[in-house]
């Protein structure tokens, strides 16, 4: 092998197992241990942190460095990474996928497309990855978007928007943008967007809405999803409680041991059941319907426990 091919082979061997003795590497590469040492120095010069240990159990180990050097992936690894990046749909994932697709051999590209066509994710609205990627790029580059938007009654309206952030919640993707015609922040479901003129004029980013982009989406989704909503103080840290809640229930820390939950459900009874299932003490704030539903539930459970 010439030097370049041998370096790639050496890098593959170092990536496939944590520790490789020098003699083993020399045998696999069909060179001397002296050549292995020289090749290791070449890899270090290219930014790969290869650590060496001496002694009976010594050898070479590929470590973590300050920067991420290029990685070598076999066929199965490349296909798995491509499918995962396409499913993720974030701005960084789309950027990484674009780079990966540029170097994927045709046979692997066909495998990726076959997997995407014949596999299923958690049920949710279909989102065109190309649309998601274009929106992510516009958010990154601060370029206005014009698109047709299908609202809940199936009517279609034209929107002129400054896109700021993509947010994923409840198995859906949402775009948070400043609607120029309405002069206000708006949330748009990506699966209802049909792009018209991407790559529009550039704009200056605005300060996020109250609660940040994620909080803005969460509150908007909660208003649409639930017929009944109530504020509840739950005893527990905001981080701990948030992990137990539906994604559309906003959580605000009140202190180290309590948080305010903007809870929602179809009925007060359903909400009382959900809150009881948290297995955390809670206090109902100014919601008489929920108080009555919780009392009825407590009475019913008490009777069941005493039978």
Is-contact 244 255, C-beta < 8 A?
A: no
- The whole-number pLDDT of residue 171 equals 65
Integer angstrom CA distances of residue 163 from 150, 189, 225, 270: 17, 13, 24, 36
Give CA–CA dist 171/191, Å, rounded. 11
| Higher-scoring residue by pLDDT: 242, 116 | 242
Tell me which residue has tokens 């704009």: 203
Q: Which two tokens stand for residue 220?
A: 């908007």
Tokens coding 168:
């994923």
Smallest CA-to-CA distance from 233 within 186, 280, 196 is with 280
Write the DSSP symbol of residue 151.
-
CA distance 280 to 241: 9
- Is the pLDDT higher at 144 or at 127? 144
The mean pLDDT of 291-302, rounded to a whole number, is 94
What mean pLDDT do residues 119-139 have? 69
Q: Which of 9-13, 20-24, 96-100 has the lowest mean pLDDT?
A: 96-100
The runs of H, that is alpha helices, within the chain are 3-16, 22-29, 33-45, 75-88, 91-103, 106-118, 129-141, 212-225, 238-242, 268-277, 288-306
> Which of 65-69, 73-77, 164-168, 233-237 comes out lowest in average pLDDT?
65-69
How many angstroms separate the CA atoms of 54 and 46, rounded?
A: 23
Give 82-96 as a 3 state SS string. HHHHHHHCCHHHHHH
Average pLDDT over residues 52-66: 77
Q: Among 162, 163, 79, which residue's Cα sits nearest to residue 113? A: 79
Write out the two tokens for 57. Answer: 């159990």
Q: How far apart are alpha carbons 248 and 223 in whole angstroms?
A: 9
**Position 159 pLDDT exceeds 60:** yes
Tokens of 73: 């992936």
How many angstroms separate the CA atoms of 170 and 268, rounded? 22
The per-residue pLDDT for 224 is 67
Instruction: Indicate if the pLDDT at residue 123 is higher than 50.
Output: no
Is the pLDDT reported for residue 187 higher than 70? yes
SS3 content of the chain, % helix, strand, coil (to 5): 45, 25, 30
- Bridge pairing between strands 184-189 and 172-179: antiparallel
CB atoms inside a 10 Å sphere around CB 66: 6
Whether residue 19 contacts residue 61, with contact meaning beta carbons closer than 8 Å, is answered with: yes
pLDDT at 255 over 80: yes
- What average pLDDT score do residues 89-117 get? 72
């Amino acid at each position: 092998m010439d030097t370049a091919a041998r370096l790639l082979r050496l890098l593959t061997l170092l990536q496939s197992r944590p520790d490789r003795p020098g003699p083993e590497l020399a045998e696999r590469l069909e060179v001397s241990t002296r050549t292995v040492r020289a090749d290791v120095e070449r890899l270090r010069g290219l930014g790969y942190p290869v650590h060496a240990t001496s002694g009976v159990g010594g050898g070479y180990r590929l470590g973590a460095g300050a920067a991420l050097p290029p990685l070598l992936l076999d066929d199965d690894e490349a296909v798995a990474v491509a499918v995962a990046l396409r499913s993720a749909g974030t701005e960084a994932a789309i950027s990484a996928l674009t780079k990966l697709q540029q170097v994927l051999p045709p046979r692997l590209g066909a495998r990726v497309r076959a997997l995407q066509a014949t596999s299923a994710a958690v049920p949710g609205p279909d989102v065109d990855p190309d649309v998601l990627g274009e929106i992510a790029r516009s958010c990154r580059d601060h370029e206005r978007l014009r698109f047709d938007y299908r609202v809940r009654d199936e009517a279609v309206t034209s929107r002129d928007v400054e896109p700021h952030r993509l947010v994923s919640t409840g198995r859906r993707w949402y775009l948070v943008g400043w609607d120029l015609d309405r002069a206000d922040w708006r949330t748009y479901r990506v699966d209802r967007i049909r792009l018209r003129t991407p790559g529009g004029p550039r704009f200056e980013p605005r300060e996020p809405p109250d609660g940040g982009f994620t909080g803005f989406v969460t509150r908007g989704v909660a208003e649409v999803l639930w017929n009944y909503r109530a504020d509840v103080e739950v005893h527990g840290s905001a981080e701990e409680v948030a992990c137990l809640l539906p994604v559309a229930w906003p959580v605000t820390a009140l202190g180290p041991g309590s948080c305010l939950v903007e809870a929602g459900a179809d009925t007060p009874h359903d909400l009382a059941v959900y809150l009881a299932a948290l297995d955390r003490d809670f206090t109902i704030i100014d919601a008489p319907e929920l108080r009555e539903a919780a009392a009825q539930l407590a009475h019913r459970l008490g009777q069941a426990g005493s039978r």
